[in-house]
Amino acid sequence: MKPTAIYQFFSILRAANPQPQTELHYASVFELLAAVLLSAQATDVGVNKATARLFGVANTPEKIIHLGLEGLEQHIKTIGLYRSKARHLMQTCHILMDQHGGQVPRSREALEALPGVGRKTANVVLNVAFGEATMAVDTHLFRLGNRTGLAPGATPLAVEHKLLKRIPAEFLVDAHHWLILHGRYVCQARKPLCGQCAVFDCCGFKDKQR
């Protein structure tokens, strides 16, 4: 995609959704961190159902520690890989209490040092909670980066770096949300809904279909 097409691409997405938000439910930075940690290989809908149960009784690191690992597992057992996720979340809560005064740190290094928190999760927290222009490359962003020609790359990190370089600054803070939502509901993995796509005319994928 050429710079003019990229600008048009995001202008259209912004016009349709001026203030995009994550579909995960949260009421604090810690709840966001916990929800994102639990969301790996799970749907936002499924995570929201589990966190509604969990956050109703334990929505801080201290309260989750008091809940105990078995109690935590019972609240999130509807989510895939819940045992390993519960263990990581419990370990994270202990680190937050012991090293960060119960607060979620806002540095990438400190976030990625937490169990179960990788680069993608850290990027989500930095973007959604702290307003930083990061790009959390999940399966949707990786697919869109390559399919549209916006940011082709062989790895999520390569796509992330290209997205940050190619997306105009005025769109960067919200671009992660627009791309996830577009990938989730329109530019789907098996069969992209090109006939319903508002940005089809500026997408490189149409050229591949000719």
Q: Is 174 part of the annotated catalytic residue set? A: no
Q: Which of 85, 120, 162, 174 is catalytic?
A: 120
Q: Is 138 part of the annotated catalytic residue set? A: yes
Residue 54 amino acid letter: L
Closest CA to 116 of 36, 190, 174: 36
Query: Measured between alpha carbons, how far is 188 from 97 in angstroms, rounded to an integer?
Result: 40
Q: Which of 63, 85, 138, 208 is catalytic?
A: 138
Taking the CA atoms of 114, 78, 75 and 125 in sequence, report the sign of the dihedral they define: positive
Q: List the alpha helices (DSSP H) in the chain.
A: 3-16, 29-38, 44-57, 61-67, 69-76, 82-99, 108-112, 119-128, 139-147, 156-166, 172-185, 205-208
Packing angle, helices 69-76 and 82-99, rounded to 10? 130
Residues labelled as active-site residues:
120, 138
